[in-house]
Amino acid sequence: MHNPRSHPPGGPDGAVRGKWWPLVAITLGNFMLLVDVTIVNTALPQMAHGLNTSFSSLQWVMDIYALALAALLMVAGSAADLFGRRRLYVLGLVVFAVSSLACGLAPDGTVLIVARAVQGVGAAAMFATNTPLLMAAYQGRDRGVAFGVWGGTGGAATAVGPLLGGLLTEYADWRWIFWVNLPLTALAVWATLRSVKESRLEATGPRGGRPGIDWPGAISFTVCAGALTYGLMRGGEHGWSDSGTVTALVVAAAALIVFLVVERRARQPLLELKLFRRPSFAVLMAAALLLQAAAFPYLTYGGLWLQTVLGLSPMQAGLAVMPMAAVSLVVGAVGGRVLHRVAPQLPLGIGLLLIGAGALTHSLLLSADSGWATLAPGLALGGLGVGMSMPVLVSAALGAAPPERGGMASGAVNTFRQMGYALGIAVLGMVFASRVRTVISGSDALPADAAGRAAEAISGGHSGDIVASAPAGAARQGVEALVHESFVAGLDRICLVSGIVAVVAGLVVLAVVRPSEQPGSGAGAASGPAAARPGGGDGSAPRSESEPVGA
């Protein structure tokens, strides 16, 4: 039996009074780590010009954060159980703040990528401890209110991210999208130290001893995820026979084998592989990965199109992609209670179908002459799907796992979500660049020796440079038309891929996943056994009543 040990809030002197201060401290950290997934999107063109980065560097600026967050989420939960959740949360906030400062000061793309990776490490520590700290801080009706605010804040982060990034980039500088974290982090650290109680797991299972950290499993999983993402990106840029690509993919496969062997033999594994013998659980993990990969990464390329091709300002580009976040927030808020009263595989499967329909709508409507409003119908459909599927994703996973593995199931589904975003950026980036190169190579508007450089510049957000370098007159008009055509062709292709992936995932969920017959699981899992223990030796968080919407 796991019994949390609690300590008085903060120190004896100067402790913050008021029961809602722990909620402020925890939701502030949750807001920041989720905002930083999407706030980068509208600043990418300015980053590309300011740091003179390549397309692969642009991908890594987005990808490395989500990759570090996904790879370290479960092990961060184990460390929190062992060393103290408040302690690890504060450490995560400090790491997040220092790395945010480094991101803003980065002189080149390499430093920015490294700083973003460290930022993801801090975010993993924050994300893994959010829910256990809230579970320890509140009981009864207060707990429901706390998780409602926490989940709503997570959804707001998705909506605010692109717009906030556009505002800061347009009226200050792109570096401020990172520096804005510093005062917010300082406030979160102060409020945490003054109001949040410490908790950790004292007792363990029948073998005795404290829950340890599965370091071999954590290292092999991290190596596998990183090598796979790098291999996919490098393969799209340098070809699949390139020695670096082959090496990365071989390392990823070897690390995966090591992870599987380690997890089969570990006393306290990060991920119990026997769970995947349950068809519903296996399908839900795949759905979590594919949902995140299909719903959000293509918006990055939509933002590039809006700014580098259509000439919108960063703020205007942020507003143009708001329909998805706005609709998802409304659906999640208005339909939340209704969604939790039905079998979770229904809103999840239907939500995936709507996400797919939204992406396919983009593919049908986009053309070289399209404007920003062309995105609105597809974004609204996608937002409807996100609002239906995201709030029930974790409860569906809990319903597919035994009650005593509820914490592990919650941590696993959040890990697969973040991995889906990271791999989605890599795969769709590869598809986008390949399609742009094909269109450019098939045109006579540019000399053959310039086609490769033009394709790379367009993919990397430098399409304006290609147009500006063309001779004035009809030649420049032809190059401009080619830029529009090639970018829309790439965007059309990745929307088509995203749409098909989401539709297939939705159909599989509806066909395979079945309602759980376990007591305390499914839609009501938040009050069941999984929620009764704030985290677990598996290093994951329990299901809350309101799961954050968005990336």
CATH number at residue 107: 1.20.1250.20
Phi/psi region, residue 400 (left: phi>0; alpha: psi -120 to 50; beta: rest), is: alpha
Distances from the Cα of 158 to the Cαs of 12, 37, 154, in angstroms? Answer: 37, 8, 7
Distances from the Cα of 550 to the Cαs of 30, 205, 393, 526, in angstroms? Answer: 12, 35, 12, 20
| Residue 253 resides in a domain | no
| Residue 203 resides in a domain | yes
pLDDT of res. 541: 39
The 10 Å Cβ neighbour count of residue 257 is 12
| Residue 549 resides in a domain | no
| Residue 548 resides in a domain | no
| Residue 301 resides in a domain | yes
Average pLDDT over residues 109-115: 94
The domain in which residue 465 lies consists of 4-214+266-532
Side chain identity at residue 145, one-letter code: V
> 308-357: per-residue pLDDT in tens?
889 899 999 999 988 988 888 788 777 766 776 788 889 999 999 999 99
| Residue 194 resides in a domain | yes
pLDDT of res. 416: 93
Average pLDDT over residues 118-130: 93
Residue with tokens 């659906």: 331
Q: Which three-class secondary structure state does DSSP give residue 4?
A: strand
Among 5-14, 37-46, 231-240, 509-518, whose mean pLDDT is lowest? 5-14
Distances from the Cα of 97 to the Cαs of 29, 102, 189, 289, 372, in angstroms? Answer: 11, 9, 10, 28, 35
Q: Which residue has the higher pLDDT, 153 or 241?
A: 241
| Residue 401 resides in a domain | yes
| Residue 228 resides in a domain | no
Q: What's the structural domain count of the chain?
A: 1
> 411-428: per-residue pLDDT in tens?
888 899 989 999 999 999
Whether residue 172 is predicted with pLDDT greater than 50 in this model: the reply is yes
Average pLDDT over residues 14-24: 74
